[in-house]
């Protein structure tokens, strides 16, 4: 999504120094007891002057580090900065359409929606999951600094930010350069060799299509070859959109939405609010038309039918920006609706699906690849318990489908959606009083479990998910398309 000028203007970059001081400096400050604190202060006058006011404040808010209640350990590679944080120095050019500087702030959460006081709401960019994931794992209680003990190895490469910064690079060698260097670097590490990278993983905030340039099509817009490199195919790649047919080692992770709670209580309060909120609209659609994209033809039909229906609220996104990119406008509309239509756009998945579920709105899908074949770690097996699926046929009367579902079923489905919110959410990376498993917890736990199973099974090629074998007639691959940036 590209934020319009209007939104960018209200965002201030960089973060004000004073705001940073509200959060714990690091874990060490929290561990200090009062006697050691006094000792420490007497040793270092400079430290006292710089930090004491904030530390006393820290103790007043009495928050405690999360403890590792899960049975695994994750090791985080300390990569050369060019592969992650170093890229941010050039934030203005990390995306050929959007100035990413406001979006990479706050560990990728972006600009806070409320500037007064601590907030858990941010104008988070749709393709920034890799940064939030990184910050969450770095602060994770199950992180180990001892690779020897690690179940899984996280390679914090900001591959999505890199890819979008070189979309227009014509020289393919140059376009692939950093990704190739990353793979050379990591496969040269001692711990890689333990299982040829099978216990290593990447977390990428853009879709797999952006890393699967077809070798026979040199015109393929933008894509690099990261996910086609044999060594990467030995790793697990977490991505917001996996390649449903070839992506045996791809695992879908949620797009980040706008809510990044600091405490479990905030999450529970929000869920309660979404249970009680009044929903006068039967359904709603947020999105723009896609001219000439066969796969997205359903969009034009949705927009038409929604505009004509008295039961539907429409927020049309068009070039040049609209209220489509105002987080609270979008969420407010979804919170007024019982069903939220999720038509494929430039690719199968949409950030909007996660916004809708955060607002307790039951998603309606037109392709199985918008959700069902993507986020297997996060969803109940029974698709109908939380969503509606409509065949993409001509003359479909979209309104008829949700109307067929009884009121009590709607309530039940909504309850399931609201129960899923915590696991689809990226908690605040510095959250302390937060004990609900979030998107990152679930990913790490599942990966660790798979890594152990692989260990036990040795190298049995039958790993992977059954859905990827459900090939069917392969649709033409989704090209990376500039329009993908237009809406979520």
Q: Identify whether the C-beta of residue 428 lies closer than 8 Å to the C-beta of residue 260.
A: yes
Residue 180 to residue 184: CA distance in whole angstroms: 6
Residue 132 to residue 176: CA distance in whole angstroms: 24
The residues binding ligand NAG (CB under 6 A) are 20, 23-26, 71, 106-107, 109, 114, 116-117, 171, 173-174, 196, 198, 230-231, 234, 394, 429-430, 459
Q: Of 247 and 363, which CB lies nearer to ligand NAG in the complex structure?
A: 247
We find the least distance from the C-beta atom of residue 413 to ligand NAG, in angstroms, to be: 29
In SS3 terms, 175-214 reads as HHHHHHHHHHHHHCCHHHCCCCCCCEEEEEEEEHHHHCCC
Q: Of 171 and 319, which CB lies nearer to ligand NAG in the complex structure?
A: 171
- Helix or strand run (H / E) with residue 29: helix 27-31
Q: Of 24 and 256, which CB lies nearer to ligand NAG in the complex structure?
A: 24
Handedness of CA 316, 319, 322, 326 (dihedral sign): positive
Q: How many residues does the chain have?
A: 488
Q: Of 18 and 408, which CB lies nearer to ligand NAG in the complex structure?
A: 18
Q: Of 234 and 412, which CB lies nearer to ligand NAG in the complex structure?
A: 234
**CA-based angle 183:186:191, to the nearest 5?**
145
Q: Of 171 and 215, which CB lies nearer to ligand NAG in the complex structure?
A: 171
- Helix or strand run (H / E) with residue 281: strand 281-287
Q: Of 26 and 419, which CB lies nearer to ligand NAG in the complex structure?
A: 26
Q: Of 353 and 430, which CB lies nearer to ligand NAG in the complex structure?
A: 430
Q: Identify whether the C-beta of residue 240 lies closer than 8 Å to the C-beta of residue 129.
A: yes
We find the least distance from the C-beta atom of residue 174 to ligand NAG, in angstroms, to be: 5
Q: Of 19 and 470, which CB lies nearer to ligand NAG in the complex structure?
A: 19
Which two structure tokens, joined as six digits, stand for 377?
Answer: 């770690």
We find the least distance from the C-beta atom of residue 249 to ligand NAG, in angstroms, to be: 10
Burial-class residue 412 by CB neighbours within 10 Å (0-12, 13-18, 19+). middle
Residues with Cβ within 8 Å of 374's Cβ and at least 6 positions away in sequence, in order, are 241, 242, 244, 252, 348, 349
We find the least distance from the C-beta atom of residue 448 to ligand NAG, in angstroms, to be: 9
Nearest residue to ligand NAG on Cβ basis: 117
Peptide bond into 114 cis (omega under 30): no
We find the least distance from the C-beta atom of residue 380 to ligand NAG, in angstroms, to be: 23
Q: Identify whether the C-beta of residue 322 lies closer than 8 Å to the C-beta of residue 316.
A: yes
As a whole number of angstroms, the longest Cα–Cα distance in the chain is 78
We find the least distance from the C-beta atom of residue 415 to ligand NAG, in angstroms, to be: 26
We find the least distance from the C-beta atom of residue 290 to ligand NAG, in angstroms, to be: 15
We find the least distance from the C-beta atom of residue 83 to ligand NAG, in angstroms, to be: 18
Q: Identify whether the C-beta of residue 422 lies closer than 8 Å to the C-beta of residue 260.
A: no
We find the least distance from the C-beta atom of residue 394 to ligand NAG, in angstroms, to be: 4
- Helix or strand run (H / E) with residue 241: strand 236-241
Could you say which DSSP state residue 145 is in?
A: S
């Amino acid at each position: 999504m590209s934020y319009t000028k209007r939104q960018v203007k209200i965002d201030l970059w960089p973060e004000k120094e004073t705001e940073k001081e509200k959060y714990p400096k690091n874990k060490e400050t929290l561990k200090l007891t009062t006697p050691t604190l006094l000792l420490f202060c007497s040793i270092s006058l400079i430290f006292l002057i710089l930090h004491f006011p904030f530390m006393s404040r820290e103790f007043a808010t009495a928050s405690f580090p999360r403890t590792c209640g899960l049975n695994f350990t994750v090791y985080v590679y300390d990569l050369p900065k060019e592969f992650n944080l170093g890229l941010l120095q050039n934030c203005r050019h990390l995306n050929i359409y959007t100035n990413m500087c406001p979006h990479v702030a706050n560990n990728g959460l972006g600009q806070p929606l409320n500037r007064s006081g601590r907030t858990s709401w941010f104008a988070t960019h749709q393709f920034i999951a890799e940064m939030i994931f990184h910050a969450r794992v770095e602060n994770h209680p199950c992180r180990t600094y001892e690779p020897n003990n690690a179940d899984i190895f996280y390679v914090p490469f900001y591959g999505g930010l890199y890819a979008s910064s070189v979309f227009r690079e014509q020289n393919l060698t140059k376009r692939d350069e950093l990704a190739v260097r990353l793979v050379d670097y990591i496969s040269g590490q001692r711990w890689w060799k333990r299982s040829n990278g099978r216990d290593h993983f990447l977390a990428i905030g853009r879709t797999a299509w952006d890393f699967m340039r077809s070798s026979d099509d040199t015109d393929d817009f933008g894509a690099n070859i990261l996910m086609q490199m044999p060594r990467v195919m030995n790793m697990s790649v977490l991505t917001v959109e996996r390649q449903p047919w070839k992506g045996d080692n791809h695992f879908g992770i949620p797009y980040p939405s706008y809510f990044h709670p600091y405490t479990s209580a905030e999450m529970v309060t929000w869920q309660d609010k979404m249970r009680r909120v009044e929903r006068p609209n039967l359904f709603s659609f947020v999105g723009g038309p896609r001219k000439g994209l066969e796969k997205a033809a359903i969009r034009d039909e949705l927009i038409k039918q929604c505009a004509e229906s008295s039961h539907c609220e429409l927020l049309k996104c068009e070039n040049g920006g609209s209220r489509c990119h105002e987080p609270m406008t979008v969420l407010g509309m979804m919170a007024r609706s019982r069903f939220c239509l999720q038509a494929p756009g430039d690719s199968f998945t949409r950030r909007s699906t996660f916004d809708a579920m955060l607002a307790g709105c039951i998603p309606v899908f037109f392709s199985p690849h918008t959700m069902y074949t993507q986020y297997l770690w996060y969803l109940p097996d029974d698709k109908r318990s939380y969503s509606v699926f409509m065949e993409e046929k001509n003359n479909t009367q979209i309104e008829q489908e949700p109307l067929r579902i009884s009121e009590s079923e709607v309530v039940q489905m909504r309850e399931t959606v609201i129960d899923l919110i915590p696991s689809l959410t990226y908690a605040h990376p510095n959250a302390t009083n937060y004990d609900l498993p979030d998107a990152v917890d679930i990913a790490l736990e599942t990966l660790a479990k798979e890594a152990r199973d692989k260990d036990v099974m040795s190298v049995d090629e039958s790993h992977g998910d059954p859905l990827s074998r459900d090939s069917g007639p392969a649709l033409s691959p989704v090209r990376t398309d500039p329009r993908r940036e237009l809406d979520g």
